[in-house]
Chain A
């Protein structure tokens, strides 16, 4: 009798043992989720879009792996934990890459702004060097207005920069730089044309 009861008990325990759930790796899930949130907050979606999308795909694969194990009778989360740990590491790398990209963009914006300011200053100097008098006044006035517009564009770019809109700021300052450069070329041509023209007697 006792042996039979022990046998039944052993069988039941055996059943329970083989169907026992391994613990869901909640700590790893939370760590991966938090790391992805950090990457998003850092701006990964904007600055390293492909890396961010790949990160989300990896997390989806890890979560599918988790549910797959939960579906099974014999649950084993070893591979799921591995995947989640990889996702966390990947997310941290993406965050770091985002910061590095942002710093590079900021440096480019600041350098370009300085270049444009130099070009605008050169342009204004060229205007003062232009021959005085009515010849070309209208043309020079129009060029001066273009320089004013370029300067206003740099102010807008700077506002975007201060608001963290780095990509639009960079695009704006690049165009302003090209424009300022072409204005200075035009000014130089205008001035040399008037210097070569017959002088008043």
Chain B
């Protein structure tokens, strides 16, 4: 009897405690900690932590998931056995890690975009210098295609930068840099190869100017690189004219049809006035000279040019120039006004020296 009343009293007290003081029996669930962790994760993601601090972000997510699992596990226990301290710890760690992920992402993002910006600025410079320094270098078919592809890739990368498309930049910026470096390297090699004859050109030009001084003759000096025709009288520069060359102007002429303007010491052998040439007026040169013929034979013997190749002829300084690009088959073209002046200054046997460049290889 007594026991029964004791049991009833105990049950009643327990029920009252549960009803009136539930927190005394049931520990506080870690809701606020997990809400905070979730908010921190959300902020980290808004700052692209998954992109710029992926390891920390993944760790924060993992801690959050572990906290939720721990919470679920504790909820499966009987009420007086629940302990959320581990869940709270995990949630708190998740918050801290998410905060760190966010700040790391912000710093890394600044560094990454600053790096992209510098690299693109460098690429801009490289393109500018390429266009300036190598604009007249005749490129082969492969290089022309590579240049076109590289320019298109550049536009794609620039558009990706404007749209803050980090994924595209990561994949393609290095390719663009590599392609451009290759193009520049090829152009530079071509230039170095072209300038190997510079000492000879310097010698020819100096001799021509000296001859003009000593013998009172007029001498024309053609600078292929600068696209300039200089007139020297009595050793002094009297006129400078712009001119245009063959489409494949670099290097010395090797055979007929190669569209290269020859290099060497020549002379005017015939003056062709209006009506005598299809290019307004023309000064026919004595290409091929003895050096040209010697070199042509040697190149044939070495197999550098085909056995049935012909050396070419009819290299002239003529009019119809002023087009702004290299278009002749190897001749030197001036605009008609300049051609009038040059024609008047020339006579048969006027020396014409054609050199690759009067200045040494540019270093920048």
Partners in one complex: yes
Enumerate A144-168 residues with CB–CB distance to B below 8 Å.
Answer: 145-146, 148-150, 153, 168
Q: Which of B145, B160, B322 has the most CB of A within 10 A?
A: B145
Instruction: Please name all residues of chain B whose beta carbon is closer than 8 Å to the beta carbon of A57 when the two chains form the complex.
Output: 38, 42
Q: Do A136 and B323 have beta carbons less than 8 Å apart?
A: yes
Interface of B is mostly: helix
**Which among B18-26, B197-205, B287-295 touches the partner chain?**
B18-26
Contact in complex: B75, A174 (CB < 8 Å): no
Instruction: Render B240-283 as a binary contact track against A, CB cut-off 8 A, 1 for contact.
Output: 00000001000000000000000000000000000100111000
Among B151-159, B223-231, B347-355, the stretch that binds chain A is B151-159
Does residue A107 face the partner (Cβ distance < 8 Å to B)? Answer: no
Which B residues from 1 to 27 make CB contacts under 8 A with A? 1, 4-5, 7-8, 11-12, 14-15, 18-19, 22, 25-26
Quick one: CB contact mask for B31-73 with A, threshold 8 Å, 1 for yes? 1001100100010010000000000000000000000100110
Q: At the interface, yes or no: B326 with Cβ under 8 Å from chain A?
A: yes
Once A171-B159, A197-B322 are accepted as A-B contacts, the answer to whether A73 and B329 lie under 8 Å apart by CB is no
Interface size for A (C-beta < 8 A) is 51
Query: Is B149 engaged at the interface, CB distance under 8 Å to the other chain?
Result: yes
Please determine whether A200 and B327 come into contact, CB atoms closer than 8 angstroms: no
> Which residues of B lie under 8 Å from residue A150 when comparing CB positions?
152
- How far is the CB of B224 from the nearest CB of chain A, in Å? 16
State whether the Cβ of B361 lies closer than 8 Å to any Cβ in chain A: no
Is the CB of A30 closer than 8 A to any CB of chain B?
no
**Docked-complex contact A67 and B8, CB < 8 angstroms:** no
Residues of A within 8 A of B232 (CB): none
Q: Could you give, for residues 327-339 of chain B, a 1 whenever the CB lies within 8 Å of some chain A CB and a 0 otherwise?
A: 1110000001000
Mask, A51-87, CB within 8 Å of B = 1, is 0010001001101100110111110000000000000
Interface string of A1-44 (1 = CB under 8 A from B): 00011011001101100110000000000000000000000000
Q: Is the CB of A63 within 8 A of B68?
A: yes
- Quick check: is B93 within 8 A (CB to CB) of the other chain? no
* Interface membership of chain A positions 168-198, coded 1 if the CB is closer than 8 angstroms to chain B and 0 otherwise: 1001101110110000000000000110011
A–B pairs, 6, beta carbons within 8 Å:
A4-B4, A15-B11, A71-B74, A134-B329, A137-B247, A172-B156
A interface with B by C-beta (< 8 Å): 4-5, 7-8, 11-12, 14-15, 18-19, 53, 57, 60-61, 63-64, 67-68, 70-74, 134-139, 141-142, 145-146, 148-150, 153, 168, 171-172, 174-176, 178-179, 193-194, 197-198, 200-201
